Amino acid sequence: MSESSSSTTKLVKTVSELAESPAPSTPSTQSINSLLADCTFSTPTSSLSPSLISTPRSDKYSDSIDTMMLSTSLNDENYSQEINSFLKDFNKKFDVTANSVHDIIDIVSTLLQRKNKTNMIQEKLNKQIQDLQSTNFKLTSENDQLRFQLADLQSKSSNAEHLCTNLTNQNNALKDTNNTLQEEIKTLKASLTSMQDIMEGQIQDLQNLGKQRIDLITICNKQTNLYQKLESCMKAKVPEPVVKKEIPKIIEQKPDLSQEHYQIIASMIKIIDECIKTDSNPYKSIRDDSNFEPKERIMRITKLLVENYKQEKQLCSQYEQDKANFEKKSQTYQKKCFEILTLFEGQLDFLQKLSHSTDLQNALLYKEKTATSVILSDDDKTVLMRKCANLRKFVDETFINLSQSKIEDIMNTSDSTETIRVFDLLNTDEPDNLLNKVLSSIGEKTDVDIREIFDLFRAQLFMNCLLKNHISDMHIRVARIGQENTSLKKLLQETREKDIVPVKLRAEDLERKYMKIRNFLSKFVPVDDVTPTLTLIKRAMNVVKNTTEESNAAVEMAEKLKKELDTVTKERDALALYLKKSQKDNNKTNKESTKLSKQTKTELAKAQEELAQIKEQCTKFTDEIQALTKTVEDKNAELQKNKEDFERQMQVLQDKILLFNEEKKQNDEKQAALISQVEEDKKVIETTKKQRNALKRKLDQTVESNKNIADTMEKQSNAMKENYTATINSLQSQYEASLKELENQQASMMDLQSKCQQLTSENSKLRVENKTLEMKVKMFEGKSLVDQQNIQSRITAQVTAAQMENANIISSLKQVIEETKNGFQELFGGRYIIHELSEAVDLVQKELSQLSQKEIQYGELLEEFEKTKNVLGITTNDFKLNEIVSNMMKQIDELKLSLEDSTKKYKQNQDDVDKFRKEIRKSENQLSQLRAWENWSRRIYSVINDMDSLNMSNDEMRLVLEEALLASVSHKSIFFRTDMLRTEKNLMVKFDKRILNTRSVAKPTFRAVLIATLAARRVFKLGGAIPLNIHDSPISFYETPKRKNSVKNSVKKSVSSSKKKSVLYSSSMRKSVIPMWA
């Protein structure tokens, strides 16, 4: 601004000098023309072209002033010529008729008057343009924000869909596990309730047996009392001579009873000596004790026998429980050993596949630094195949040849190892912990064989980690497919279970009641498996005839049988009703299955082949259901026959009961006659004595039958325990597996949370970096401002120096300036108070520069305005911006709504597409599985028969394969049975029959425990916990603890480095695998 003001003052001075001077000169006119060419003036007429408008050049002012100062030194003649030439040039250039400088000033005044009008118009236009620019900027910013929001919403929607799918998959898997667990719990509850029913029935049977024993004892006591009463009556009624004659007879019979007692005692002790060879002294002491009578001695010996029997029974039960526990443990160890061996074999197969396939080599041996993968050479492949073959041979040999001698050799060194460490290999833990566990059991002496096995194991762990995610995805897909495939089968299975299970339960209840009847008859009559129940009942009735009290017991028994028959008939009727209901339910389920099949046809028209297969399966199931209904009808017929038999038996029993009642009356009459007649009483006494021996025999038979019943009950209870313990253990293992899966899922959720935290931390770091960059930008801006201020200060210093130099020149021109002041005051019309000429020139320069800038801005705004017109499609000049902007905003809102609708439709379409893709994938997987099964069956058929199976159907193939399998398995069962029969025959021939009837308890052997522990020891070798004796060189296992600690420390360091950088971990694992192949 200072330079421009000084140039304008110089121009005014030159103009005033030219007006006073009379003659012009050529150089001065050239300098004036150059100065005027730099200044911008607008003509008063409208004929001025826009090309005349240009920006002033202030660089030439200093030169022009110098020329003007030189021109003042010329003569006065030159001034008039210069003025005339200036006027001519001015008139030619601007098309104006100016004869003097005053005319030029008048032209400038007219221009200034027009300036005010143009300023008002320009201000209005500027306001409108600013408003348009602000609205345009707002609209553009809103559009940008909407675009960013749309992008964010799309990304969020995709992420949300992905998360929803993952969560739905997890929920479905958890629901399936919960459903399976609940079903298993229900089955357990049902089994426990059945066990409780069985136990209650057994307890009731035992109670009945106890009651019957007490009844027998009371009967014996009553008989003894009757004998005493009869003897007292005989003594009271018989005359003295008759009694004297009969006394010696009675005395003769007494030693016979004592002899029988002593014979019984002797036979009992012989049997005890033969059976119990160790502790027979207490029995002999009772035998030799003369303080007691032989009857009491027999009772004491029996009590001791019963007590010892109970103790031995308890010991046997404990031994059986221990044996069952040891067998379970051995089975679990064998299963785990087999799982480890199969796992090891599968990993060896994978290594062999790796040697053949280049795709696996590219995937596993990829290097990120070079972006290439290491491919194995032929030599490496041969070495790897050779080592895998050696290890497989070793596994086969050790798995088959588990002899007792080898196991005993291994057990000598089993004290230094942990027997449970190897089974941790099957758990899905982190590889670092697993490697630490394995290294803790391996010694520090560098042995080639152990190192090779460890390298193989580490490579296998790395491969398993790579394939784990793929396997988990495949498991999820397989679970979904299995759920959809089993949805139809579950209905039919449920109907089967509903129909079969209650029938089985009812049949078991009937069998139990039948056995109860036979057991009840066994109290009175010896029972065999061959004799029918009717003959047993007849025998029992014949026994009851002998005594009146036994007849009362028979009556009670008959009443009980009536009640049981009534219950059986009621249960049969209930069974018939239940079967009818089950048939109705089956019909309903069949209808529902047909409806479901129709729905699947409509939904999946493309998968018609699969639906045909499902229909075939449904027909098969219906055939099976019809077969089951036929069996149920047959059972109903059998039940009706049994009912008729029971009714006939009841009629026979009622007839016999009437006969027994008549006989009872006759016996009462006979007893009255016996009291009156003495001779008949003697016969009765003799008969009662004989009956005592028969009762004793019956008591012995009852004791033996009770023993047999107790043995059978114990066997049944043990069998039930073994069956249910196996099922409970399997359910517990499944429950533990499900818990482990839940823990793994929780661990995966924790990993995701940790990843989210890492992302948040990275975002925070990026924010901090952004803030630091903003601070740096602010620092650079401050530095630039300081530099600008320094430059401005230098420029001002230079300007002040130039002004001091030109001060002398300015003093000479003050007179001209005062005159020009008055002229400029007249131009501005007294609006501004001018003290100096420089202020007037500054005002003129400011106004001219503002006019030029406003004109430029006005042109630019007009161009932008025309562009906005073209963009908006406006052709007319009469329009309103507010209405147009409001319409634009409304259109933007409508576009937003349409965008939201389109996004919703797009999501729905994507969901439909995903559903169709899933259904197509399911159908494809099912088809591939069915084709694989067909190929497998045809391949096995070709292997068995050496023939092709092109013309055979699937059913024929199944029948042929089943026949082949049965033919391969049946001879084994036959040989096994023949061997068992031979051994049983030899045992029966060798041993005495009396010994076979008695129960002998064999001491359990330690062989099962040895086999289990030795098998575990062999598996330890496979896992690397014990050195392997593959080569001739012996391997020392016992190592120093210092070297073990050094190995552990090295592993910990490697583990920490692997956690920091997963990429380095994968490269290190590849490097560790490559030396083994090289």
Q: What is the pLDDT of residues 986-1020, one digit of tens each?
A: 877 776 666 656 555 555 567 777 888 888 888 87
The identity of residue 1012, as a single letter, is A
Q: Is the pLDDT of residue 982 over 70?
A: yes
| H/E segment holding residue 367 | strand 366-367
* Residue with tokens 């499900």, as numbered in its chain: 738
What pLDDT, on the 0 to 100 scale, is given for residue 541?
A: 65
Q: How far apart are the C-alpha atoms of 897 and 902, rounded to whole Å?
A: 9
Q: Which residue has the tokens 């039948």?
A: 514
664: left (phi over 0), alpha (psi -120 to 50) or beta: alpha
pLDDT greater than 70 at residue 280: yes
1074: CB partners within 8 A, 6+ apart:
365, 374
Give the best-scoring range by mean pLDDT among 597-601, 925-929, 957-961, 972-976.
925-929
pLDDT value, residue 685? 63
Percent of residues, the chain, with pLDDT higher than 90: 0
Give the pLDDT of residue 356: 72
CA gap 96, 110 in Å, rounded: 13
Tell me how far the alpha carbon of residue 872 is from its chain's centroid: 59
Q: Does residue 924 surpass a pLDDT of 80?
A: yes
**Per-residue pLDDT band at 618 (split at 50, 70, 90):** low
Query: CA 162 to CA 180: how far, in whole Å?
Result: 27
pLDDT tens digit sequence for 1025-1074:
665 454 444 444 334 444 445 544 554 444 444 444 443 334 443 333 33
pLDDT above 70 as % of the chain: 48
Confidence of residue 777 (pLDDT cuts 50, 70, 90): confident
Looking up tokens 């005053």, which residue turns up? Answer: 102
Q: What is the pLDDT of residues 634-671, one digit of tens each?
A: 766 776 777 677 677 767 777 777 776 777 677 677 66
Host H or E run for residue 366: strand 366-367
DSSP 8-state symbol, 992: -
pLDDT of the residue at 146: 76
Instruction: Give the pLDDT confidence score for residue 528 in this predicted structure.
Output: 74
CA angle 955, 960, 961 (to 5 degrees): 100
pLDDT at 518: 72
Query: Is pLDDT at 551 greater than 80 in this prediction?
Result: no
Q: What are phi and psi of 367, to 5 degrees?
A: -110, 125
The three-class DSSP label of residue 369 is coil
| pLDDT at position 20 | 46
What's the pLDDT tens digit per position in 499-508?
667 667 766 7
Q: 260 falls in which pLDDT band (50, 70, 90)?
A: confident
CA torsion angle 960 961 963 967 (round to 10): 140
3-state secondary structure of 372: strand
- Per-residue pLDDT band for 169 (boundaries 50, 70, 90) equals confident
Residue 105's pLDDT band, with cuts at 50, 70 and 90, is: confident
pLDDT confidence of residue 172: 78
Of 722, 752, 735, whose CA–CA distance to 182 is shortest?
Answer: 735
pLDDT band at 170 (very low <50, low <70, confident <90, very high): confident
Alpha-carbon torsion angle 424, 426, 428, 431, nearest 10: 60
SS3 annotation, 895-916: HHHHHHHHHHHHHHHHHHHHHH
Q: pLDDT value at position 1038?
A: 38
Q: Is the pLDDT of residue 1077 over 80?
A: no
Strand-pair category, 372-373 with 366-367: antiparallel
Burial class (CB in 10 A: 0-12, 13-18, 19+), 191: middle
pTM for the model stands at 0.21
pLDDT higher at 997 or 859? 859
- Round to whole Å and give the CA distance between 241 and 809: 199
What residues have CB less than 8 Å from 84, skipping those under 6 apart?
24
The overall average pLDDT reported for the chain is: 67
Q: Are 48 and 110 in contact (CB under 8 A)?
A: no
Determine the average pLDDT of the residues in 203-227.
Answer: 77
- Furthest C-alpha separation in the chain: 215
Whole-number pLDDT of residue 1016: 82
779, 786 Cβ separation under 8 angstroms: no
Give the tens place of pLDDT for each residue, 879-890.
566 677 677 777
Span 319-374, pLDDT tens digits: 888 888 878 877 776 777 667 667 767 777 777 777 777 766 666 666 666 667 66
Give the pLDDT confidence score for residue 577 in this predicted structure.
73
pLDDT confidence of residue 394: 67
Low-confidence winner among 301-305, 422-426, 753-757, 784-788 (lowest mean pLDDT): 422-426
781 vs 579, residue with greater confidence: 781
Q: Quick one: pLDDT at residue 142?
A: 77
Nearest to 191 by CA among 861, 256, 183, 25: 183
Which tops the pLDDT comparison, 466 or 789? 789
Residue range 733-743: mean pLDDT, rounded: 74
- Across residues 603-627, what is the average pLDDT? 65
pLDDT, average across residues 795-809: 70
User: What per-residue confidence (pLDDT) applies to 632?
Assistant: 67
pLDDT band at residue 154 under the 50/70/90 scheme? confident
- pLDDT at position 58 is 37
Rg (CA), the chain: 60
**pLDDT given at position 433:** 63
- Tokens describing residue 943: 């292997």
> What confidence tier does 616 reach under pLDDT thresholds 50, 70, 90?
confident
**pLDDT exceeds cutoff 80 at 919:** yes
Which of these ranges, 133-142, 461-470, 958-967, has the smallest mean pLDDT? 461-470
